[in-house]
Amino acid sequence: MNTIADYLETMFINLPETSDIMQLKYDLYANMEDKYNELKMAGKSENEAIGVVISEFGNIDEILEEMNVHYREEEVEESIPVVDLTEALSYVEAKKRIGLGIGIGVFFCALGLAIFLTIAVRFDSPVGIVPMMILAAIGVGLFIVSGYKNNTFQYLQRDFVMTGASRKVIQNEKQAYEKTHILAIVLGVTACIVSVVPFFMIVFLRPYDDNFVGLGLGLILVIASLGVIFLVYTGNVTLAFNTLLKNAKSHQPTKQEVAYSRVDHLFEAVYWPIVVVIYLVWSFTGSGMRWSYSWIIFMVAGILQEAIKALIGIVPTDKK
């Protein structure tokens, strides 16, 4: 019966969820269920029964006309993409590679800066600029490649239509990933916190020797960047699941739904870049130890996001 339900949902996926259409969908499912049970009682196999029921379904437009069910064209604002399960899972796998690429890019940049600081402070020499520039170039290259891969799925950042069955699979995949997500956060946060330990050990063991201060700062950057790899990776994977579940619609949108979606996406397009700028400014200005706790900005921003939306009046149409 799940096959029949999925088929019926696919047939109605491009129609608005008006009361008449939803009632028709319910009635058709009841009739198809009765027909399926009759065929099973007549000795048909499950596959045969499902095949007969689906083959007798007919054309959705003809059914709407026959049942005298109509809807105004203006009820549907525009046609949005229909995304199948294979496409959705490909997006999740791509975000895993993107997250890993960005995380490793951050590590290379941090490693280059760490080498520069160590050489500059210990030997009072600018020669560390060379490995820093090389490693920074590798890191930036990874950022560019990851960004290019991300642009391939840019259309998923806006609303699209996905069947309920596909949505359920995505929800199950997200739930299965939850333990890995928690472990990655624990490892990432732990690395960021522990990154300051070598610095304090150096200061404690050699309180009057400034030659090792650069090494201590470099170790903070390297160890913290290892934690960033875990955080960025799992952040991208979780973002992929959340994006699919948030933007997936069960039907083509109405004018009111499209209006809300546009405002919501505009808000996030402005909000999160501001958060990133605040994070970078706060992390780079001041002592190197800020990297061990500046990531908290993203957690606070995530918590405040919905509250700010409600405060400025960005409310879903079904909650107005």
Q: What is the pLDDT of residues 210-226, one digit of tens each?
A: 677 778 888 999 999 99
The helix (run of H) or strand (run of E) holding residue 310 is helix 296-312
Residues 25 and 119 in one domain: no
Q: Decide which of 43, 75, 107 is a domain's last residue.
A: 75
C-alpha 69/C-alpha 24 separation (Å) is 8
Q: How confident is the model at residue 103 (pLDDT cuts 50, 70, 90)?
A: very high
* % of the chain at pLDDT higher than 90: 29
**Residue listed under structure tokens 């050699």:** 206
Confirm if 185 and 231 have CB atoms less than 8 A apart: yes
φ/ψ region of 228 (left if φ > 0, alpha if ψ in -120 to 50, else beta) reads alpha
Residues 40 and 90 in one domain: no
Q: Decide which of 46, 75, 104 is a domain's last residue.
A: 75
Beta-bridge partners for 161: 82, 249
- Judge whether 93 lies within some domain: yes
Nearest to residue 316, comparing CAs of 267, 261, 268?
Answer: 261
- Least confident range from 165-179, 211-225, 248-262, 263-277: namely 248-262
Angle at 292 between CA 289 and CA 294, to 5 degrees: 100
- Judge whether 275 lies within some domain: yes
- Judge whether 249 lies within some domain: no
C-alpha 187/C-alpha 229 separation (Å) is 10
pLDDT in the model for residue 74: 45
Angle at 230 between CA 136 and CA 196, to 5 degrees: 75
- Judge whether 50 lies within some domain: yes
Q: How confident is the model at residue 62 (pLDDT cuts 50, 70, 90)?
A: low
Task: Please give the tally of structural domains in the chain.
Answer: 3
Give the mean pLDDT of 83-89.
Answer: 89
End-to-end, the C-alpha distance of the chain in Å comes to 36
Residues 207 and 316 in one domain: no
Where is mean pLDDT largest: 52-61, 63-72, 185-194, 198-207? 185-194
Residues 87 and 69 in one domain: no
Nearest to residue 212, comparing CAs of 222, 204, 202, 220?
Answer: 202
Note down the domain range covering 266: 254-320
Q: How confident is the model at residue 187 (pLDDT cuts 50, 70, 90)?
A: very high
Residues 261 and 162 in one domain: no
Residues 136 and 95 in one domain: yes
**Residue listed under structure tokens 């994070």:** 279
Tokens coding 246:
């948030």
Give the mean pLDDT of 229-252.
Answer: 90
Exposure b/e, 156-178, CB count within 10 A at least 16 = b: beebbbbbeebbeebeebbeebe
Residues 91 and 233 in one domain: yes
- Judge whether 320 lies within some domain: yes
Beta-bridge partners for 82: 161
pLDDT in the model for residue 307: 84
Q: Decide which of 244, 274, 299 is a domain's last residue.
A: 244
